[in-house]
Structure 1
Amino acid sequence: MAAYQFNNTLTPKMTPMTSATESENHHLSQRNGRSMDLLELFERANLTADLRAVEDLLIARSQSRSSLITEAGVHTVRSGGKRLRAAMALLAAQLGTYQLSHVIHAAASAELIHAASLVHDDLVDQAARRRGRVTVHARWDNDVALMVGDYFFALASAEMSLSPDPRIITFYAQAVQVIVEGELSPVMVAEPAETARRQYFYKTGAKTAVLFEAACKAGMAAGGGDEAQIAALAGYGFDVGVAFQIVDDVLDFIGNESTLGKPAGNDLRQGTITLPLIYALERTGSPRLRALVEQHLTDDATIEAAIREVLEAGGAAAAMDEARRYVDQAINHLNIFPDSLARRTLITLAQFVLEREA
């Protein structure tokens, strides 16, 4: 189901992967007894040069007649992270008839939208740093951040219009609408658990997963895919996106500032209700956790105690189990495609989401 058709319900689960798929996925994600690095994965998939071309295009598009926009725009692009969305668009296109010139604009559009949404998100949250780098509004000011975010949305609109398939514009336009709706739909309660989970998965789907979905759909369309193939990639991208956000929320409890670029418990300090907390409170009914949510307690001692309690209650472990189910479900969507390097890489990429540390 396309994410923009959300109606505040949980995404239905599919059957688990077959043992053969599990074995294949394990083999692909391991090398010499260790987990494969993402850059190594892209190199083995012959994706490095094409991702570099996307990166160069993003830098080129950031150039403006305004030196301030150029400086802030390049800063934003260089803070861009792993380029998962661009990689997914390229790999989706490789499942069809691949030409970089046909898909590069779709791949760049996903990253431009992502950059715009992060700049605005940081502005709304008044976050000083993201992944260890100073945010735009903190380095310049709120007005610059607002304008840079708007500028990147405009760049994305121009970029997607260069794609050969007009459906790509629709995919991304619908995604941006849902992202904004998700931003304005926070998780309001931690109890009852059923209501909290429903709100959490709606927000996660809208704010995060829908752009993964759109990137995969756009890539498949650029590769000449038919409706069934585009729908399969939509399901893959959406489910990987949900898993990605769940893992992100788990890392807030088990990570550290050196790898996350922010202190552990940052979500708790901001009053953000995430899946590990929901599961822990459901399992324990803890007065401490309930007070933290209801009174928005943010002192260090309370946050540290809450982190310990969530972990001891198995909240983070239960959330990771949920993320694994979404990854299994995502991989099942690829069953309609024959074996290929692109398909195997998409499987490994989904597994990477579970193994990442930042």
Structure 2
Amino acid sequence: MMLTALPSWLLADVDHIVQIIRERTSARAAVISIAGSQLLTAKREPIHAALVLLAAQFGTYRRERVQHAAAAAELIYAATQTHDALVDEGERRRGQHRTGTWEHPVALMVGDYLFALAAGEMALSPDARVINFYSQAVMRITEGTLMPPPPLFPLEQGCQQHFTRIRDTHAALYGAACRAGGACAGASTEQIEALGVFGEELGLALRLTQELHMFTTSNSEQQPITTMSLPLIFAAAQTDHARLLAALDTAAPNEQAWLRSTVQRYGLEPTQSEVRRIISQAHKMLEHLPAHAGRDLLAQLSVAVAHQSI
């Protein structure tokens, strides 16, 4: 739980954002219940909303000025996760494309509905730049999602394309949330940019920790590995990359077991090193911000992400 280190007053403001979202969606229960697994579940912390509030410390912090930007970030995240149901990574990896009607029209409609709710929240924000920050992030998320998965080999090409893809699909919204918070609080242009870069680095590191957990948590052994990840790319440089790629497309227990053990042997340590490097880059961006309790809280949050990678 990354947010537990935050002060009680800030956690109370995060809870207030969650309540706003529940109020917005309570009148549409029949629609939102379909996407209930993606919206403010007990298993997921509202990290994007928290980042908006934290970034708003670098200016004049008033909850009522930043709450709509924070709610919009969580609604956008829920919308993108709902739309993820429409993308089959295995098909894209093999160069196949769906034709005909959408296989999941309900997910498409619910995702669009959540985007519409997010747009309503953006419109209530006091700074018009919030709309631009989030719209740019959504465009990047869409473009990144439609990109083909990176190759497993060669290593340099695989890493470069994987970083590009997850910067768009995962890190972009973290950066937008930080920029939006700074703008709503009246932070300077330089501070807003530093906050945005920090957010993207944090989002990238957080996604890599999630990829590590695919191979390290007890629950992970019950799920077949079917998606591309940085640990896989590192492992492919040390072993039979063709077999690793084939193992991604099979549920055969023996191949999945070989894939998992191979990645655990060759892919975890270099990925953990990448997380530490990226967190270090994020900390450098904090040096552009004034000494402030908010800066310390952002640093603590990034340290919590680094600990998750261990």
Give the drift of 1:265: 5.5
Describe the shift of the 1:281–1:70 C-alpha distance in structure 2 as closer, same or farther (beyond 3 A): closer
- Contact 1:187 1:196 survives alignment (8 Å): no
- Contact 1:59 1:77 survives alignment (8 Å): no
Residue 88, structure 1, aligned to residue 43, structure 2: no
- Report what 1:201 is aligned to: 163
**How far apart are the structure 1 equivalents of 2:304 and 2:145?**
26
**How far apart are the structure 2 equivalents of 1:60 and 1:67?**
10
User: Partner letter of residue 184 of structure 2?
Assistant: A
**How far apart are the structure 2 equivalents of 1:178 and 1:228?**
22
**How far apart are the structure 2 equivalents of 1:193 and 1:173?**
33
Give the drift of 1:149: 0.8
Secondary structure, counterpart of 1:62 in structure 2? helix
Residue 278, structure 1, aligned to residue 233, structure 2: yes
- Report what 1:309 is aligned to: 262
- Report what 1:339 is aligned to: 291
Q: Indicate the larger mover: 282-291 or 149-158.
A: 282-291
- Contact 2:171 2:202 survives alignment (8 Å): yes
- Report what 2:61 is aligned to: 98
**How far apart are the structure 1 equivalents of 2:261 and 2:2?**
30
Q: Unmatched 5+ residue regions in structure 2?
A: 90-102
**How far apart are the structure 2 equivalents of 1:72 and 1:85?**
22
Runs of 4+ in 1 over 6 A off after TM superposition: none
**How far apart are the structure 2 equivalents of 1:349 and 1:104?**
20
- Report what 2:138 is aligned to: 176
Deviations 1:6-40 (A, max 9, x none): xxxxxxxxxxxxxxxxxxxxxxxxxxxxxxx5343
Give the drift of 1:306: 1.1
**How far apart are the structure 2 equivalents of 1:74 and 1:177?**
24
User: Partner letter of residue 251 of structure 1?
Assistant: H
Q: Unmatched 5+ residue regions in structure 1?
A: 1-36, 127-140
Q: In the alignment, which of 64, 67, 75 is matched to residue 112 of structure 1?
A: 75
Paired positions, count: 297
Give the drift of 1:96: 1.5
Give the drift of 1:264: 5.5
**How far apart are the structure 2 equivalents of 1:290 and 1:107?**
39
Give the drift of 1:248: 0.7
Q: In the alignment, which of 37, 40, 56 is matched to residue 4 of structure 2?
A: 40
Q: In the alignment, which of 225, 239, 251 is matched to residue 298 of structure 1?
A: 251
- Contact 1:45 1:342 survives alignment (8 Å): no
Secondary structure, counterpart of 1:111 in structure 2? helix
- Report what 2:16 is aligned to: 53
| Superposition RMSD in Å | 2.3
Q: Indicate the larger mover: 321-330 or 276-285.
A: 276-285
- Report what 1:289 is aligned to: 244
- Report what 1:6 is aligned to: none
- Contact 1:243 1:323 survives alignment (8 Å): yes
Deviations 1:244-278 (A, max 9, x none): 11111111011122xxxx65654x3x2x2211011
User: Partner letter of residue 281 of structure 1?
Assistant: A
Q: In the alignment, which of 273, 296, 299 is matched to residue 321 of structure 1?
A: 273
Q: In the alignment, which of 104, 109, 112 is matched to residue 147 of structure 1?
A: 109
Q: TM-score, normalised by structure 1?
A: 0.77
Give the drift of 1:86: 0.7
- Contact 1:103 1:222 survives alignment (8 Å): yes
Give the drift of 1:67: 4.5
**How far apart are the structure 1 equivalents of 2:241 and 2:88?**
27
Q: TM-score, normalised by structure 2?
A: 0.89
**How far apart are the structure 1 equivalents of 2:221 and 2:83?**
21
- Contact 2:65 2:184 survives alignment (8 Å): yes
- Contact 1:205 1:242 survives alignment (8 Å): yes
- Contact 2:40 2:46 survives alignment (8 Å): no
- Contact 2:49 2:70 survives alignment (8 Å): yes
- Contact 1:252 1:264 survives alignment (8 Å): no
Residue 72, structure 1, aligned to residue 34, structure 2: yes
**How far apart are the structure 2 equivalents of 1:192 and 1:179?**
25
